C-alpha cells in the first residue's frame, strides 16, 4: 500500500468573481521510503498540492473534491485539531526560505525541544540531548554550544539545516520539501539536497520534493510528477521521464536542462506561457502551446494513460478504449 | 549595554537643551508677569525692584544660562500665582498624575492586548466585529465627553463612584498614594477608565494588526506544520513577535497619558499636574508652565530609554550579534 495516495484532488478558491479551481484532479502516490519529485512552472499548483496534503491550505482555499489518504486513512476530511497530531509526527514540511521559517525570537534549541515534546513524552533533559543529536546529524558544527543560539546567528544554509532538523525531529513518515534550496546561494544548494537525501534515506522517510529544477529531480528523485495548470501532465520513474518524456510539455521542460539534454533530441523552447486560472482552455490545458495538438485536444480533457513506463495525460497515448 | 545607555542619554542632551530653550523663551516673550504680579496699582520703584529680583533686567543669554543652571538644580523659580517654589508644587502634584497615568496604562494594556489577540485570531467572528465596532466609538468620542458621560452614569445616576477628587490619600514621605485606601481606589476608577479608553482601543487595534501580520508569516506556518499546539502558537510564537512594535507604542502612550491627563484631570478635578497646568495657563503662570514642559521632556527621554531596554530584553537580534556572543 502506498504511504500517501492523492486521488483526483480538487482545490478551489471561492472569490467574489466566482470559484477559482487551482488544482483540478491531481493524482499521485508516494511509496514508503520513496522520493517523489514534483516539477512544473511557477503557478502549476505544486505548493498547493503540498499544502492540501498537510491540511494547511490558506483560507478561503479548500479541498473541493477527491481524496487524500495516508496509510489508507482519509486525512482530507479531518479537522484542524484532528490534523495537528499528524503534522510533524506523520507528515513533516520544509519550506522555501530558511530566513523566514524560523521564529526569530526563539532559540533553535527551544524550537526543536518544543516540537519533540509536542509529539513525544520526553523530559526536558532528554529532549535537549536529542536536539543536540539532531543538530549534529544535519551538520551544525559545535552543536552542543550552538543549541541556544538564535536563528539570526546562522547563515542561510545553516538555517536550512536547522529547518530540516525541525521537520524531521519527530520522525515523520513523509516530508514535503517545497523548493528547499530555491532561496539559497547556488554554491550551497547541492549540499542541502545531498543532506536531505542522505538523512531521509537513513530514517526511511518518504519525500515529496517540490522544485522547478529538473537537475535536482534527476539526481534525487525515484519518480517524478510533472504538473501543469493544476493537473498532473505526466508521472513516472525519473529516468524514463527524463530520457523518454511522453507528454509534449515534459519534452519541452527537458529541453530547458542543458546538462541532461545530450541524451534527448535537442528540443525547442515551448512558446507562450501557462494559462491563468481564470482562462484555462477547454480540453487539454496545454493545447494552445502544443505543436502536436489535434482536434480532440481542444474538445475533451485527457486523463492519465500509460505510455511505456510512465503515465501521461495526453491524447497521443489514448487507446481506442479511452473515452473521448 | 552600559555604553548603549550612556549613548542614549548623551543623545537626549540636545533634545533637553532645545526644550529648555523653548520653555525659557516663554519667559522672555509671552505675557508680562510683572503686570500680573503687581496688579493695577504700583510704583515705578516697585516695578523695577521686582524686575531686578526676578533677573529680568539681564541680557537674554545670561538669563538663559542662569535658568538652565537653576533648572539643573531642580530650581524652577517661584509660581507667580501661588508664590511658592515651582518644584515643590510639581512634586506635590506628581503622584496624583503618575498614579492616574499608570492605572490608565495598565487598564489599556490588560484589557487591550488580550482583546487584540482575540480579535486577531477570530478575525471573522461576529464577536470580533462587535468589539471592533465598539472600539471605533471609543476612538471617535472626545475624552472629555466620555468622562462627563461616565460621571453622569456612575456618579450621578447610580451613585457608585465619586465624581471628583482623589479620595483619601496616604502620605508616604515624598509620595502620596491613593492606592492604599478604598476611597482612593474608588476615586481612581472613573478617571483611569476615561483616560485609558483611547489607548486601550489603540492597543487592541495595534495588537490585532500585528497579530494578523505575524499569523501570516512563514514561521507561524512552519510551527503549524510541525503540529505545535494552537495555544503555544498564539500566545507564545505569535504574541511574542507582536511585542516589539507594541512596546514602542505603549511606551509612548505612558508619556502621552501623563501629558494629556490634562483634560481628564480637569473633568474630574483630579489634583494632578495637568490641573495645575490648566490653572497656570489661565493666569499666565509662566514658571509653572515652563517647568511642566521640561518635566514632560525628561519623562519622554526616560520612557524612550526604558522602551529601548525592553527591546533588548525581547529581541535577541538586538541583544546578540550575528557572530555569537554568549
Ligand atoms: N490564496 C490564493 N488565492 C487565489 N489563488 C491562489 C492562492 N494561492 C495560490 N493560488 C493560485 O493557485 C495556483 C497554484 O499556486 P502554487 O501551488 O503556489 O504554484 P506553484 O506550482 O508555483 O507552487 C496559482 O495559479 C496561484 O495563483
Ligand atoms: S492532449 Fe493534445 S494538446 Fe494536450 S499535450 Fe497531448 S497532443 Fe498536446
Ligand atoms: Mg510554490
- pLDDT single digits (tens) A76-113: 999 999 999 999 999 999 999 999 999 999 999 999 99
Residue A128 covered by a domain: no
- Cis status of the peptide bond prior to A60, with omega within 30 of 0: yes
Evaluate whether B191 touches B166 at the Cβ level (below 8 Å). no
CATH number of the domain within which B242 lies: 1.10.3720.10
Is the Cβ pair B222, A87 closer than 8 Å?
A: no
Residue B299 covered by a domain: no
CA angle A239, A245, A250 (to 5 degrees): 115
Q: Which structural domain, as residue segments, surrounds residue B256?
A: 86-282
- Count of domains forming chain A: 1
**Atom number, ligand 1, closest to the C-alpha of residue A60:** 1
Predicted pLDDT at A47? 96
Predicted pLDDT at B15? 84
Q: Which structural domain, as residue segments, surrounds residue A295?
A: 34-42+84-90+172-275+282-323
Residue B41 covered by a domain: no
Instruction: For residues A182 and B205, give the distance between their C-alpha atoms in angstroms, rounded to a whole number.
Output: 36
Residue B194 covered by a domain: yes
- pLDDT single digits (tens) A108-125: 999 999 999 999 999 999
Q: Which chain A residues touch B316 with a CB distance below 8 Å?
A: 104-105, 107, 150, 152
Does residue A27 carry a pLDDT above 60? yes
Instruction: For residues B263 and B204, give the distance between their C-alpha atoms in angstroms, rounded to a whole number.
Output: 23
Which of A78, A77, A55, A79 lies closest to A66 in space, CA to CA?
Answer: A77
- pLDDT single digits (tens) A197-219: 999 999 999 999 999 888 889 98
Average pLDDT of chain B, as a whole number:
85
Give the gap in angstroms from C-alpha B125 to the nearest C-alpha of chain A. Answer: 14
- pLDDT single digits (tens) B140-153: 888 788 888 888 88
Its sign, for the CA torsion B135, B141, B147, B150, is: negative
Residue B18 covered by a domain: no
Give the gap in angstroms from C-alpha B250 to the nearest C-alpha of chain A. Answer: 20
Longest dimension (CA), chain A: 68
Average pLDDT of chain A, as a whole number:
91
- pLDDT single digits (tens) A115-170: 999 999 999 999 999 999 999 999 999 999 999 999 999 999 999 999 999 999 99
Residue B172 covered by a domain: yes
Residue A193 covered by a domain: yes
Is the Cβ pair B224, A100 closer than 8 Å?
A: no
Give the gap in angstroms from C-alpha B217 to the nearest C-alpha of chain A. Answer: 8
Task: Give yes or no for A153 touching B (CB within 8 A).
Answer: yes
Q: Which chain B residues touch A118 with a CB distance below 8 Å?
A: 226-229, 232
Least confident of A5-19, A265-279, B118-132: A265-279
Does residue A260 carry a pLDDT above 90? no
pTM: 0.83
How far apart are the CA of A315 and the centre of ligand 2, in A?
Answer: 6
CATH number of the domain within which A189 lies: 3.40.50.300
Residue A176 covered by a domain: yes
Predicted pLDDT at B70? 83
Evaluate whether B132 touches B125 at the Cβ level (below 8 Å). no
Residue B29 covered by a domain: no
Main-chain phi, psi angles of A26, to 5 degrees: -85, 130
- Count of domains forming chain B: 1
DSSP secondary structure string for all residues of B233-251? IIIIIIHHHHHHHHHHHHH
Task: Give yes or no for B212 touching A (CB within 8 A).
Answer: no
Residue B276 covered by a domain: yes
Predicted pLDDT at B283? 84
Which of B166, B167, B120 lies closest to B261 in space, CA to CA?
Answer: B166
Residue A292 covered by a domain: yes
Amino acid at each position: 500500500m502506498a504511504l500517501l495516495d492523492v486521488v483526483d484532488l480538487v482545490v478551489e478558491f471561492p472569490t467574489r468573481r466566482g470559484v477559482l479551481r487551482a488544482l483540478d484532479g491531481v493524482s499521485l502516490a508516494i511509496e514508503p521510503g520513496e522520493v517523489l519529485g514534483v516539477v512544473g512552472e511557477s503557478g502549476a499548483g505544486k505548493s498547493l498540492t503540498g499544502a492540501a496534503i498537510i491540511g494547511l491550505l490558506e483560507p478561503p482555499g479548500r479541498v473541493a473534491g477527491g481524496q487524500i489518504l495516508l496509510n489508507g486513512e482519509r486525512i482530507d476530511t479531518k479537522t484542524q485539531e484532528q490534523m495537528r497530531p499528524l503534522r510533524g509526527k506523520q507528515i513533516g514540511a520544509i519550506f522555501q526560505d530558511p530566513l523566514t521559517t524560523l521564529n526569530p525570537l526563539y532559540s533553535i534549541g527551544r524550537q526543536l525541544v518544543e516540537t519533540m515534546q509536542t509529539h513525544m513524552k520526553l523530559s526536558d533533559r532528554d529532549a535537549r540531548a536529542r536536539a543536540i543529536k539532531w543538530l549534529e546529524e544535519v551538520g551544525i558544527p559545535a552543536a552542543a554550544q550552538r543549541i541556544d543560539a538564535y536563528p539570526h546567528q546562522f547563515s542561510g544554509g545553516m538555517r536550512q539545516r536547522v529547518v530540516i532538523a525541525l521537520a524531521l525531529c519527530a520522525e515523520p513518515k513523509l516530508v514535503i520539501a517545497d523548493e528547499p534550496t530555491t532561496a539559497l546561494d547556488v554554491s550551497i544548494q547541492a549540499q542541502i539536497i545531498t543532506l536531505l537525501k542522505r538523512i531521509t534515506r537513513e530514517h526511511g522517510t518518504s519525500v515529496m520534493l517540490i522544485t522547478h529544477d529538473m537537475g535536482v529531480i534527476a539526481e534525487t528523485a525515484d519518480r517524478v510528477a510533472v504538473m501543469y495548470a493544476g493537473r498532473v501532465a505526466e508521472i513516472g520513474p525519473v529516468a524514463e521521464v527524463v530520457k523518454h518524456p511522453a507528454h509534449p510539455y515534459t519534452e519541452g521542460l527537458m529541453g530547458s536542462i542543458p546538462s541532461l539534454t545530450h541524451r534527448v533530441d535537442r528540443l525547442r523552447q515551448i512558446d507562450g506561457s501557462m494559462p491563468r486560472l481564470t482562462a484555462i482552455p477547454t480540453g487539454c490545458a496545454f493545447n494552445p502551446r502544443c505543436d502536436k495538438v489535434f482536434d480532440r485536444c481542444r474538445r475533451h480533457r485527457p486523463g492519465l494513460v500509460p505510455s511505456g513506463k510512465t503515465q501521461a495525460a495526453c491524447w497521443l497515448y489514448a487507446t481506442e478504449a479511452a473515452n473521448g | 549595554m552600559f555604553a548603549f545607555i550612556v549613548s542614549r542619554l548623551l543623545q537626549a542632551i540636545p533634545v533637553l537643551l532645545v526644550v529648555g530653550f523653548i520653555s525659557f523663551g516663554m519667559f522672555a516673550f509671552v505675557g508680562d508677569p510683572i503686570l500680573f504680579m503687581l496688579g493695577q496699582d504700583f510704583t515705578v520703584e516697585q516695578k523695577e525692584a521686582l524686575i531686578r529680583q526676578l533677573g529680568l533686567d539681564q541680557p537674554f543669554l545670561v538669563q538663559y544660562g542662569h535658568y538652565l543652571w537653576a533648572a539643573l538644580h531642580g530650581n524652577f523659580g517661584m509660581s507667580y500665582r501661588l508664590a511658592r517654589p515651582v518644584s515643590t508644587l510639581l512634586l506635590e502634584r506628581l503622584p496624583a498624575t503618575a498614579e492616574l497615568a499608570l492605572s490608565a496604562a495598565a487598564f489599556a494594556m490588560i484589557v487591550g492586548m488580550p482583546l487584540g489577540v482575540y480579535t486577531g485570531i477570530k478575525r471573522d467572528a461576529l464577536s470580533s466585529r462587535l468589539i471592533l465596532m465598539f472600539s471605533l466609538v471609543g476612538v471617535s468620542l472626545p475624552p472629555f465627553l466620555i468622562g462627563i458621560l461616565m460621571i453622569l452614569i456612575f456618579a450621578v445616576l447610580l451613585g457608585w463612584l465619586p465624581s471628583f477628587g482623589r479620595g483619601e490619600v496616604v502620605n508616604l514621605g515624598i509620595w502620596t498614594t491613593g492606592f492604599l485606601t478604598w476611597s482612593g481606589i474608588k476615586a481612581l476608577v472613573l478617571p483611569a477608565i476615561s483616560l485609558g479608553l483611547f489607548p486601550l482601543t489603540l492597543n487592541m487595534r495595534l495588537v490585532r494588526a500585528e497579530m494578523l501580520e505575524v499569523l501570516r508569516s512563514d514561521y507561524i506556518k512552519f510551527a503549524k506544520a510541525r503540529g505545535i499546539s494552537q495555544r503555544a502558537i498564539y500566545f507564545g510564537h505569535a504574541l511574542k513577535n507582536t511585542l516589539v512594535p507594541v512596546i514602542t507604542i505603549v511606551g509612548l502612550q505612558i508619556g502621552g497619558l501623563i501629558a494629556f491627563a490634562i483634560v481628564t484631570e480637569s473633568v474630574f478635578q483630579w489634583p494632578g499636574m495637568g490641573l495645575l497646568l490648566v490653572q497656570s495657563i489661565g493666569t499666565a503662570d509662566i514658571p509653572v508652565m515652563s517647568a511642566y514642559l521640561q518635566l514632560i521632556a525628561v519623562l519622554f527621554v526616560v520612557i524612550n530609554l526604558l522602551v529601548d531596554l525592553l527591546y533588548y530584553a525581547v529581541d535577541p537580534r538586538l541583544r546578540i550579534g550575528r557572530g555569537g556572543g554568549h
